[in-house]
Amino acid sequence: MSLANRSCVTGIGETAYTRGATATAFELQIEASKKAIVDAGLTPKDIDGVIPIGIVSGTADDFIENFGIPDLRFSAVVPHGGASPAMALQAAAMAVASGACGHVLITFGRNISAMAHGNKAGARIHNMPQFHYVTEFEHPMGASAPAQLYAPMARRHMELYGTTVEQFGEVAVACREHAILNGNAVMRKPITLEDHRNSRMIADPFRLLDCSLESDGGAAVVVSAAERAADLRHRRVFIAGVAAGHPDSPGSITQRPDITSLGLAKAAPRAFRMAGVTPADIDVAEVYDCFTYAVIRQFEDMGFCAKGEGGPFVSGGRLRLTGALPTNTHGGLLSQAHVWGLNHIVELVRQLRGDAGAAQVAGAELGVVTGYGDMGDGALAIMRRE
Amino acid sequence: MSDAIARPPQVPTALSRAYWEGAARGRLLIQRCGACGKLRHYPRLLCDACHADAVDWVEASGRGSVHSWTVCHHAFHPSFRDELPYTLVTVDLEEGVRALGRWRGPAPAIGMPVRGAFVARAGGVDLVFAPVDN
């Protein structure tokens, strides 16, 4: 049984994205969830599947309690960091296509600002079991944070393929331009390639403007069985292809055979084959942007360009709204907000409904969204509007 | 300096105890499958080739070549603030696995021949690589 076109994203919801939020992570998650359910034309009691992302706030049981869900038939945990939302689309698509349940809520909320100082990215990952090798062997030498773990991947890509600082900057500038068009983005000040180059170095080759935000907020989507989506509020947005992949040696990053090619490279051919399309058919892309370099590499892993040509691919404004492949039309993790990429899924649905406002890609019918987490796990979904 | 912030601790597990005991004596020990001989680093419970759990340990020479690196300009843990900037290097060891270490020397380059050794510091040891002549 193929999962192609068996499910739809029927509801989307987001809180305001901010820094310094006063609401708790669970309050933010509940707010986004209610919005997504109402957006679908459902009530909270209609939800019969829940995938809480990361379980950094509410659990599936918390949603039964607060929504009075009479019969939750499906729940899952997808523990792969920023890959989790796109991987959750795969789990949700399987759940509704099989008939296990009808409407799956995928939901996330967090309040970084309220966490104790010392809970920034460089400290947080050492509380996560999947990073135990980093914690034991690398953190004590000063390889503590995602920026420091991704940087050698980016450096090797630059050395082998000639990828440049300006090409990283192209990604940062495109995301910022799009964030400015979005009424709900943390970063609203224009930046240039020169601003990018002049931003302070964090972990060479990553400058400040290569790094995603630490921000607060919630986001949620509802995935419904395709036949049940027909009666709901919006034009249907089908999950045409979805797949996940993991790098070899996910935990000990240094041991991966090719540190410049990760789990998405395994997943992408499966998703495109399922959808029956090729990268050339894609109108709009929402690509997980923990770092600028990660976007460049994911275009290669997905086959939008050949290995090593991701830098030239993103150059010349291709990713901007006026370019050939508008990408991260909401501003991404780099400039809108960091909610583990659930905002990328929300934005792709908005684009395919034609509801993306000033950032709308004219005539967008087919799009791709990626998730990328835990330094190498990857997932993608190809979506098509009805 | 009595008020220095301690580095994150090096805490051996049952799986890694031999590695850390070797490190304390200045020896870079790598797990070797007791059944098929495949080397693996970091320590794992099973050989990912043959799934045997029998293990012995071999001492690596420390020789290898640069695979990649990063120069750290921001301290994500306060204990590293006084060391900025510092360079982390990923090395292809001649035995066939890679190792992460600190770098001492001029700017690294991919393929540059290096040699590494453990260097004692307050609270632990660092694996430190430096360039060598061919």
pLDDT tens digits, residue range B9-21?
999 999 999 999 9
Q: For the domain A7-114+213-385, what is the CATH superfamily, name and number?
A: Thiolase/Chalcone synthase (3.40.47.10)
Q: What mean pLDDT value characterizes chain A?
A: 96
pLDDT tens string A255-295: 999 999 899 999 999 999 999 999 999 999 999 999 999 99
CA dist., res. B59 & res. B80, Å (int): 29
Model confidence at B86: pLDDT above 90 = yes
Burial class (CB in 10 A: 0-12, 13-18, 19+), A193: middle
Q: Which two tokens stand for residue A173?
A: 């500038």
CA dist., res. A317 & res. A323, Å (int): 6
For residue B86, what is the nearest residue in chain A, using CA coordinates?
A142
DSSP secondary structure string for all residues of A95-149: HHHHTS-SEEEEEEEE-STTSPTT-SHHHHGGGSGGGHHIIIIIGGGT--SHHHH
B121 in contact with A, Cβ within 8 Å = no
Q: Verify that B40 and B94 share a domain, yes or no.
A: no
For residue B120, what is the nearest residue in chain A, using CA coordinates?
A141
pLDDT of residue B110: 98
pLDDT of residue B50: 98
Whether residues A141 and B42 touch (CB distance < 8 A) is answered with no
List the Cα angle A54/A6/A270 in 5-degree steps: 70
pLDDT of residue A184: 97
pLDDT of residue A118: 56
Q: Which two tokens stand for residue A180?
A: 């400015």
pLDDT of residue A117: 60
pLDDT tens string B38-64: 999 999 999 999 999 999 999 999 999
Distance from CA of A288 to the nearest CA of B (A): 22
Q: Which two tokens stand for residue A373?
A: 């987490």
Per domain, the residue ranges of chain A are 7-114+213-385
Q: How far is CA B122 from CA A119, B9, B102, in A?
A: 25, 10, 15
CA dist., res. B11 & res. A131, Å (int): 14
Whether residues A122 and B77 touch (CB distance < 8 A) is answered with yes
Distance from CA of A226 to the nearest CA of B (A): 41
pLDDT of residue A291: 98
CA dist., res. A259 & res. A162, Å (int): 16
Sheet holding B55-59, edge to edge: B39-40, B29-33, B55-59
A211 in contact with B, Cβ within 8 Å = no
Whether residues B76 and A144 touch (CB distance < 8 A) is answered with yes
Torsion of CA A96, A102, A106, A107, to 10 degrees: -170
Q: Verify that B66 and B54 share a domain, yes or no.
A: no
Q: How far is CA A176 from CA A65, A172, A186, A317, A349, in A?
A: 39, 6, 10, 13, 20
pLDDT of residue A162: 98
Distance from CA of A28 to the nearest CA of B (A): 27
CA dist., res. A41 & res. B42, Å (int): 51
A145 in contact with B, Cβ within 8 Å = yes
Please give the average per-residue pLDDT across B114-134, as a whole number: 95
Model confidence at B134: pLDDT above 70 = no
- B65 part of a folded domain: yes
pLDDT of residue B45: 96
Whether residues A141 and B73 touch (CB distance < 8 A) is answered with no
Q: Verify that B42 and B77 share a domain, yes or no.
A: no
Least CB–CB distance from A133: residue in B42, B68, B109: B42
pLDDT of residue A54: 83
A143 chain-B contacts, CB cut-off 8 A: 88, 100
pLDDT tens string A100-156: 999 999 999 999 888 866 567 778 888 888 889 999 999 999 999 999 999 999 999
Whether residues A144 and B100 touch (CB distance < 8 A) is answered with no
pLDDT tens string A329-370: 999 999 999 999 999 999 999 999 999 999 999 999 999 999
- B113 part of a folded domain: yes
pLDDT tens string A200-219: 999 999 999 999 999 999 99
Torsion of CA A204, A205, A206, A207, to 10 degrees: 80
Whether residues B73 and A153 touch (CB distance < 8 A) is answered with no
Distance from CA of B72 to the nearest CA of A (A): 4
When divided into structural domains, chain B yields a total of 2
User: A383: helix, coil or strand?
Assistant: strand
CA dist., res. A344 & res. A355, Å (int): 14
For A119, other C-beta atoms within 10 Å of its C-beta total 13
Model confidence at A65: pLDDT above 80 = yes
List the Cα angle B48/A129/A157 in 5-degree steps: 65
Q: Verify that B38 and B75 share a domain, yes or no.
A: no
Q: Is B82 left (phi over 0), alpha (psi -120 to 50) or beta?
A: alpha
B126 in contact with A, Cβ within 8 Å = yes
Model confidence at B99: pLDDT above 80 = yes
Whether residues B100 and A137 touch (CB distance < 8 A) is answered with yes
CA dist., res. A221 & res. A34, Å (int): 10
pLDDT of residue A368: 98
For residue B121, what is the nearest residue in chain A, using CA coordinates?
A141
Please give the average per-residue pLDDT across A154-171, as a whole number: 98
CA atoms A190, A194, A200, A203: torsion sign: positive
A203 chain-B contacts, CB cut-off 8 A: 70-74
- What DSSP state is assigned to residue A186? S
The enclosing domain of B67 has a CATH number of 2.40.50
CB pairs under 8 A between A and B: 101
pLDDT of residue A70: 97
Q: Which domain holds residue B18?
A: 13-59
pLDDT of residue B2: 46
CB contact residues (below 8 A), chain A span 252-281, against chain B: 252, 254-255, 259
Q: Verify that B30 and B41 share a domain, yes or no.
A: yes
Q: Is A354 left (phi over 0), alpha (psi -120 to 50) or beta?
A: left
Q: Verify that B65 and B54 share a domain, yes or no.
A: no
Model confidence at A322: pLDDT above 80 = yes
Whether residues A145 and B110 touch (CB distance < 8 A) is answered with no
pLDDT of residue B1: 45
CA dist., res. B102 & res. B87, Å (int): 6
Specify the amino acid at residue B127. L
Model confidence at B122: pLDDT above 50 = yes
Q: What mean pLDDT value characterizes chain B?
A: 95
Please give the average per-residue pLDDT across A77-97, as a whole number: 97
Whether residues B100 and A123 touch (CB distance < 8 A) is answered with no
What percentage of chain A reaches a pLDDT higher than 70?
99
pLDDT tens string A19-31: 999 999 999 999 9
Specify the amino acid at residue A300. E
ipTM of the complex: 0.96
Model confidence at A55: pLDDT above 80 = no
Q: Verify that B26 and B85 share a domain, yes or no.
A: no
Distance from CA of A142 to the nearest CA of B (A): 7
Whether residues A203 and B127 touch (CB distance < 8 A) is answered with no
What's the helix, strand, coil split of chain B in %, to 5?
Answer: 10, 40, 50
Specify the amino acid at residue A356. A
Residues 6+ apart with CB under 8 A from A128: none
- B2 part of a folded domain: no
